[in-house]
């Protein structure tokens, strides 16, 4: 094939291909001169001499008279002439700036290594070389270059032969950089000098000027280029200033690992793309969670080569999947750490807030950037600016209310606004987006579930349904106002920074069972329009070491993300006084208590602890309580309100029900009154009758029996005979 006949895509390799043809022809002539080919009848049966002659540009000629020169008459002068021609072509090829020259620069390849790469590339450029390699390997099935063949084609001198062997050794650049792989299509090739080699797919794509796209990286690595001006990254100015200085930091040799910590939508992605734009690189997002257990080594080998050939800024996500719930590393952890240690260029580790990345990467130097550190002021600014970008009108007061209620990142605010627009569209064409739509969209984005650890409390009661003593009601009102205004005090007025406070509010509701603690928490949540999660301590506290802490982490994390109040009922089971250490169980129980103290201090939300006996709460917890609200048993006036309000308007209640007597005679808490009223309603429904004093008295007698008491004439007074009627039945 003449150079002019080459396809356009092969023209950059024209001189190198002609040189390869020349050295192959020379090798064929050498072997024929020694009767190693022409007398081999079996070789000719599979690949004929005539076919080989056609593939190496026609009949082998001595260059003078155009007549065929038989193998047995080939003289040394003609081989020498081909050798000189090969050297001239090789020098010409080395002077051409093609993709192979670019590869040599990026991977620091020697001339011998470049020749070996081109030997392996040739079959990708022209299928004839598979036949020629099989012919010279004396094996029609081996259509790839081998160590012995490379030594013969490049030069027979011992010095070059040694360089070829060194270049294909495990310590050589070709194997170390994964440019060349030993083997072909999964076949086990012969070892030693018969060991075959082939180019790695990324190297082939690079040399053919194709875009990157390794099959093994398809599911876990995404390459993208997005022009992101640094001034548009939605972060606070202090963080933005640090990010703008990063290009200078990354210019130094062996730059530190950049750790971007924050929730989804906090601006981490925009910051990565802005940084990549500043340093002139695309971004490759590597999802560690998408790497198969048996593909980890091959994946990181392919990634290392792809980033070498197509430089990019790696953004690593999913690092929390490298360890299971017990803290054991999975199979991808080792290859990932080896690759990251060897990577001496800029990289970004994208992690959720609170992820212990230093424990995962103890040997690496890294700088962490907190993308969740904007606080209330930053959220207020986002709620004021982002709605306008979505074409939604939102006044400053509503923006402040949303900022205080939802601890949202910029991405979450954008998602809530998009949901609000959809909700408005579903109501009809032209319906404007209102604050109610935005609130619904934000609540939907904040709603999360805790499974067996906690349940979301849904209550319909309001302040009118809440029966408390005046003193208790006043303290509850103060606590509610404090929750609403806590961002003003801690953020705007600076008390959070001055006191080193996370912005949390912790209250203790102390009182006997049934005095309205849970109901009060529900009314507060309804008033503030935030979610209330009631924590199930039986599911939270585990007998297994470390499990309680993990459960606590999950509870507080979900509460923070969902912007919800946490309600710990019977909290003295977990918040109780620490005991004297007598055994390992006591020691670990105290560790759990100390860990819980730490979580209370770090949590930026609202926590309500409920206990039947206030003195059982550990003193260390008491010091962290901003509010302690007593829930005493209701007085006569409150009890009568409870009795009257316990029966719905639709319930049939006879006029003979003496609410004043019930309130005066029976010092019950609201929860007990509720049980009596409900029991009386079922008794009346069973008799197909209205609720009267008889059913209520009988239900009271049952309540006494549950408490281990015996009804007496002194307490039940004139209604005591109704108890006897029930017992007679």
Residue with tokens 């029976």: 666
Residue 74 has pLDDT above 50, yes or no: no
More confident residue, 50 or 699: 699
Q: Characterize the bridge pairing of strands 606-611 and 627-631.
A: unpaired
One DSSP character per residue, 81-97 reads: HHHHHHHHHHHHHHTS-
Residue 159 confidence class, pLDDT cut points 50, 70, 90: low
CA dihedral sign of residues 580, 585, 587, 588: negative
Mean pLDDT computed over 351-363? 82
**198 burial class (0-12, 13-18, 19+ CB within 10 angstroms)?**
buried
CATH of domain 215-370: 3.40.50.300
Look at residue 678 in the predicted model and tell me its pLDDT.
92
Q: Which of 428-442, 459-473, 563-577 has the lowest mean pLDDT?
A: 563-577
pTM over 0.85: no
What class is the 636-728 domain?
mainly alpha
Q: 317 forms bridges with which residues in the sheet?
A: 287
* For residue 95, pLDDT beyond 60: no
Cα dihedral value 230, 236, 242, 245, nearest 10? 20
Q: Which CATH superfamily is domain 463-631 in?
A: P-loop containing nucleotide triphosphate hydrolases (3.40.50.300)
Q: Which of 41-45, 62-66, 188-192 has the lowest mean pLDDT?
A: 62-66
Q: Residue 146: beta bridge partners?
A: 196
* Domain spans, the chain: 3-207, 215-370, 375-432, 463-631, 636-728
**Mean pLDDT of the 451-459 span:** 72
Residue 470 neighbours by CB distance under 10 Å = 9
Angle between helices 111-125 and 128-137 (to 10 degrees): 120
- The alpha carbon torsion through 353, 355, 356, 357 (nearest 10 deg) reads -90
Give mean pLDDT, residues 647-676: 88
CA end-to-end distance (rounded Å), the chain: 113
For the chain, the residue count is 729
pLDDT digits (tens, 9 = 90+) for 258-308: 999 988 888 899 999 999 999 999 999 999 989 887 888 889 988 999 999
SS3 per residue for 139-201: CCCCCCCEHHHHHHHHCCCHHHHHHHHHHCCCCCHHHHCCCEEECECCECCCCHHHCEEEECH
Q: Same CATH topology for 215-370 and 636-728? A: no
Average pLDDT, the chain: 79
Using DSSP bridges, classify how beta strands 454-457 and 532-535 pair: parallel, antiparallel or unpaired.
antiparallel
Q: What is the pLDDT of residue 266?
A: 85
Q: Summarize pLDDT for 327-356 with one digit per residue, the tens.
A: 566 778 888 989 998 888 999 999 987 788
Name the percent of the chain lying above pLDDT 70: 77
Residue indicated by tokens 């007593």: 630
**According to the model, what pLDDT value does residue 12 have?**
67
């Amino acid at each position: 094939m003449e150079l002019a006949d080459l396809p356009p895509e092969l023209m950059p390799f024209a001189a190198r291909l002609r040189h390869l043809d020349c050295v192959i022809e020379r090798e064929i002539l050498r072997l024929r001169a020694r009767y190693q080919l022409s007398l081999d009848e079996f070789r000719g049966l599979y690949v004929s001499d005539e076919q080989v002659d056609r593939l190496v540009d026609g009949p082998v000629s001595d260059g003078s008279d155009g007549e065929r020169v038989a193998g047995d008459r080939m003289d040394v002068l003609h081989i020498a002439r081909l050798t000189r021609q090969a050297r001239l072509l090789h020098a010409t090829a080395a002077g051409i700036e093609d993709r192979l020259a670019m590869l040599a620069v990026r991977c620091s390849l020697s001339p011998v290594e470049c020749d070996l790469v081109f030997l392996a590339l040739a079959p990708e450029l022209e299928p004839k070389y598979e036949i020629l390699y099989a012919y010279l390997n004396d094996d029609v099935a081996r259509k790839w270059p081998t160590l012995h063949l490379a030594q013969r084609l490049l030069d027979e001198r011992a010095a070059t032969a040694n360089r070829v062997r060194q270049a294909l050794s495990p310590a050589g650049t070709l194997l170390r950089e994964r440019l060349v792989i030993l083997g072909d299509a999964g076949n086990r090739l012969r070892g030693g000098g018969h060991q075959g080699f082939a180019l790695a797919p990324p190297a082939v794509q690079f040399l053919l000027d194709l875009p990157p796209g390794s099959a093994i990286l398809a599911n876990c690595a995404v390459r993208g280029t997005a022009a992101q001006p640094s001034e548009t990254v939605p972060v606070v100015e202090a963080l933005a200033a640090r990010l703008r200085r990063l290009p200078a930091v990354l210019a130094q040799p062996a730059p530190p690992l950049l750790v971007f910590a924050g929730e989804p939508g906090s601006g981490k992605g925009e910051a990565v793309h802005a940084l990549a734009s500043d340093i002139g690189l695309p971004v490759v997002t590597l999802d560690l969670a998408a790497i198969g257990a048996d593909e980890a080594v091959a994946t990181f080998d392919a990634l290392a080569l792809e980033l070498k050939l197509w430089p990019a800024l790696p953004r690593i996500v999913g690092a929390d999947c490298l360890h299971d719930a017990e803290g054991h590393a999975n199979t991808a952890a080792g290859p990932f750490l080896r690759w990251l240690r060897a990577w001496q260029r800029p990289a970004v580790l994208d992690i959720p807030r609170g992820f212990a990345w230093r424990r995962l990467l103890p040997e690496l130097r890294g700088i962490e950037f907190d993308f969740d550190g904007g606080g209330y002021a930053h959220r207020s600014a986002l709620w004021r600016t982002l709605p306008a970008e979505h074409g939604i009108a939102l006044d400053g007061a509503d923006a402040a209310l949303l900022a205080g209620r939802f601890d949202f990142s910029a991405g979450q605010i954008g998602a809530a606004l998009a949901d609000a627009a959809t909700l408005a569209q579903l109501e009809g064409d032209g319906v404007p987006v209102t604050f109610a739509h935005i609130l619904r969209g934000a609540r939907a984005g904040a709603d999360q579930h805790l499974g067996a650890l906690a349940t979301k409390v849904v209550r319909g009661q309001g302040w009118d349904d809440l029966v408390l003593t005046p003193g208790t009601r006043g303290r509850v009102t103060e606590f509610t106002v404090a929750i609403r205004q806590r961002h003003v005090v801690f953020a705007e007025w600076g008390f959070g920074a001055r006191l080193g406070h996370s912005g949390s509010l912790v209250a203790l509701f102390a009182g006997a069972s049934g005095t309205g603690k849970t109901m009060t928490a529900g009314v507060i949540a309804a008033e503030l329009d935030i979610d209330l999660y009631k924590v199930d301590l039986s599911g939270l506290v585990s007998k297994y070491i470390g499990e309680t802490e993990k459960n606590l982490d999950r509870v507080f994390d979900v509460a923070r993300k969902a912007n919800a109040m946490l309600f710990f009922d019977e909290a003295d089971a977990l918040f109780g006084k620490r005991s004297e250490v007598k055994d390992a169980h006591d020691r670990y129980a105290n560790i759990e208590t100390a860990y819980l103290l730490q979580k209370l201090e770090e949590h930026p939300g609202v926590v309500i602890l409920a206990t039947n006996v206030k003195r059982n709460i550990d003193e260390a917890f008491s010091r962290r309580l901003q509010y302690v609200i007593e829930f005493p048993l209701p007085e006569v006036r409150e009890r009568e309100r409870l009795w009257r309000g316990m029966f719905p308007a639709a319930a049939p209640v006879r006029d003979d029900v003496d609410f004043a007597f019930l309130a005066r005679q029976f010092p019950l808490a609201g929860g007990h009154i509720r049980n009596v009223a409900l029991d009386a309603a079922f008794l009346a429904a069973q008799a197909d009758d209205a609720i009267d004093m008889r059913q209520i008295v009988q239900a009271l007698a049952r309540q006494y029996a549950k408490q281990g008491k015996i009804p007496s004439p002194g307490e039940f007074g004139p209604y005591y005979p109704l108890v006897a009627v029930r017992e007679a039945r």
